[in-house]
Chain A
């Protein structure tokens, strides 16, 4: 039973991982930008959620009304700058690393390096859960929300990519920039929109993170391992792949914790990544080379 419960909790937590990874993956895949600032945006989203919810005493879910547009604009602005600077994939990594350091230190100066957490009154979600009638299974509320938001946002984005003109233009752009340009696709506008959307998912991920844990600025760097793991397993630029990979990573960690030991989790996770990279470098769910 505990394996089942742990696996379930793991899958739900995986929603958060997927949400954190999706923005990074799609901008990497389509725009060829490895945007480490994404971690800074998630952190900023988390602190904004903390600040707004605590100062105005509002439900953390409601903070999304402010943080999502705010981070959309920020993400778009960053991409606009990248585009203006005609930055290469490698340079984007270094440039965004420099800016990530600036963001993390800025947050530390603003909110102090000490742990910040919404109090139980403001954030009732942290300790709530939903039980399933007959079975002895429990769905923790913050991670259930993470799962739900991940499915809605990532699934929605996936559908949007398939159905809308902008989405199809984007996919064309990802596959061949020259041809896309020849068909009159304005890559700037698309890039900025996409990066903005990625920023909005960062806001959602940040909100969920603030809801479930105490925040310190240094956390941003601790996310690297898991998030990159999800990006790789899902296949760079694959939204649905990222979603499934997030859930898998969550479940894998949880099941390893129960069956072997929590100490073995990083080892199993990163060994799996190496295996996937060696055997299926395009990610677990990608068909061939297209992104």
Chain B
């Protein structure tokens, strides 16, 4: 029901908001809306579009960009050069800005996201350099702007719209509403869930079948298009474009401030932030406290960062009515008293009161109030294939053939790290339905082996086939689609999602993509299967280690794997928990999935596995039935020798 409601709201909420806001300009005289409010609103709309552009990339995916000025600059320069200097039609230049910024975004993204070792701070610094480089380029090549900057005149617009202010407001409104709508649509689609998963645990998401590179590229491109088009309109607003007016630090810093203050995990956050910060700035400027304006602004930013680091939206969402009441009381009260300035001041005081109300109690009850609020508003993505009926997953009805066909084939696989031979010439076959124990002392190459099979590492030599398909060189999400799933020794759940949604993520992005409602329904089965049914709505940070390990298994099962690697899934558990985990593992195997348990404790695997593979110093030491392997003198020598009494 909620899904349908939110969908409908998304469908006509935005056109409605657009029409309502457009009327402020179109019927300005009838409703007595002063034209100067449009000026302020235009500024708010510019920052809304820019912060939203930033948020789609940085807020959703967690990659902080300091390069927003690059999009504003390229957009403004495109319009200034083409329209201002060469008289190209203004609206055509909007399209050119969008294309150029998309190309720039893809170029930057292509460079950055290809890096295997990309960390957030490196991305931030990389994007920090981009506007500097573009600005320096424009300055180097004075043929671009004639050396002094370019005047951008007012383009012809229908006179019925009224003043230039009306026109500027309306096109800014169109861009801002379009941007926010895009942010809304993304958040409510697979795309948005993929970005959330990337923010929470990127390589886990990739391993579950999320094409992270593609989604990141898509996010940066959408961000670029919005930023560029909005930048084009900015050129119109400032009327004169030079390097220093666009390629500066003001833009990136302000979009970050606004988005983070407003709340960056939600599409409404940047809108709130842009409105509040712009209004505050405007009122401070108008109040004539010139010397103290920036002191107040900086102080407010600092205070809010400390007391509401997750953003205002989350806080307001947690207690919307008291905040709204405070806002209304202050505004109406000041209106009646007709004191303390004009309507804008009243609105500002009202907004500040609402912020105070929303923030202060939240500080006391942070643990209870905010954690829940952040999740409950997570809306469901729109359904894609409503017509396709739910199909039972294959693990219910298919019998489990054992060793009937070869599922995984490793042929002379080697992996070197510099001079270190982590794996050297391992040949290994795993049949369907098998339960294999992969053992070896620390440093024997087990983890390397798992990484190779999951596609996160590429072999230096040799071939790896899964279900007959060569996976060497495939990105991990394709390997996942080929039927490989893994769990992590230290569980890495998606922290912002419930247990159910953690599993639903895996189902949504599996071999056969599914919509969220259907994925959620399917997730219930997997959660029940591992015995976490009672915790479906809990957040991962409320789970203990054992439960997290079970969640890892449920999530891996969500991908409908052919072969499942359990990386030290039993480490650190109590004996009772081990028994429970072993039972779950057996159940999974009975479902028809091949399982490879990676362990250094031979004793555990001994009871469980149908076959044991022993690695030592990167080579295959033994492979066979547990009994045979246990008696193998080489194994006893190299491995048990040290641990016989352990």
Q: State the A residues within 8 Å of B (CB).
A: 85, 87-91, 94-95, 97-102, 104-106, 108-109, 221, 224-225, 228-229, 232, 236, 263-264, 266-267, 270-271, 273-274, 277-278, 281
Query: Interface size of B by Cβ–Cβ distance < 8 Å?
Result: 40
Known: A94-B305, A106-B295. A228 touches B128 (CB 8 A): yes
On whether the beta carbons of B299 and A102 are closer than 8 Å, the reply is yes
Q: Which of A98, A224, A236, A263 contacts B298 (CB 8 A)?
A: A98
Residue pair A101, B301 in contact (C-beta under 8 Å)? yes
CB-CB under 8 A from B111, the residues of chain A are 274, 278
Which of B112, B117, B298 is close to A101, meaning CB atoms less than 8 Å apart? B298
Q: Are B129 and A274 in contact (CB under 8 A)?
A: yes
Bound complex: CA A243 to CA B306 (Å): 33
- Asked if residues B305 and A105 are in contact (CB atoms below 8 Å), the reply is no
In the complex, besides A266-B133, A266-B136, A277-B126, 14 extra interface pairs with C-beta distance below 8 angstroms are A88-B309, A94-B256, A95-B305, A98-B297, A101-B301, A102-B299, A105-B294, A105-B298, A106-B295, A263-B136, A264-B140, A266-B135, A267-B133, A281-B119
**Nearest CB on B from A43, distance (A):** 14
Give the residues in chain A near B630, CB-CB below 8 Å: none
CA distance in complex: A152, B593 (Å) = 64
Q: Which of B266-311 contact A (CB under 8 A)?
A: 291-295, 297-302, 305-306, 309
Asked if B608 lies at the interface with its beta carbon under 8 angstroms from chain A, I say no
**Within 8 Å CB of A109, what residues of B?**
291-292, 295
26 residue pairs bridging A and B, Cβ less than 8 Å apart: A87-B305, A88-B309, A90-B260, A91-B309, A94-B305, A97-B257, A97-B301, A98-B299, A98-B300, A99-B298, A99-B302, A101-B295, A102-B295, A102-B298, A105-B294, A105-B295, A105-B298, A221-B249, A228-B125, A229-B129, A232-B125, A273-B129, A277-B122, A278-B115, A278-B126, A281-B119
**A266 touches which one: B132, B299, B302 (CB < 8 A)?**
B132
Let me know if A91 and B133 touch, CB within 8 A. Answer: no
Query: Known: A94-B260, A98-B302, A105-B298. Contact between A267 and B136, CB under 8 A?
Result: yes
Decide: A98 and B301 in contact? CB cutoff 8 A: yes
| A94 interface neighbour in B130, B257, B295, Cβ under 8 Å | B257
Considering only residues 305-327 of chain B, those with a C-beta below 8 Å from chain A are: 305-306, 309
Across the interface, A270 reaches (CB within 8 A) one of B136, B249, B256, B301, namely: B136
Contacts of B293 in A (CB 8 A): 105
Interface residues of B (CB under 8 A from A): 64, 111-112, 115, 117-119, 121-122, 125-126, 128-130, 132-133, 135-137, 139-140, 249, 253, 256-257, 260, 291-295, 297-302, 305-306, 309
Q: Which residues of B contact A94 (CB under 8 A)?
A: 256-257, 260, 301, 305
Contact for A281 among B118, B133, B295, CB less than 8 A: B118
Closest chain A CB from B314 CB (angstroms): 14
Residues of B within 8 A of A108 (CB): 291
Closest to B300 in A: A98
A111 to chain B, nearest CB (A): 12
| A86 to B120 CA separation, bound complex (whole angstroms) | 20
A106-B295, A271-B133, A281-B117 given; A87·B301 CB < 8 A: no
Which residues of chain B come closer than 8 Å to A266, judged between CB atoms? 132-133, 135-136, 139
Q: Separation in Å of the B56 CB from the closest CB of chain A?
A: 18
Q: Which listed residue, B112, B129, B294, B306, touches A102 by the CB 8 Å rule?
A: B294
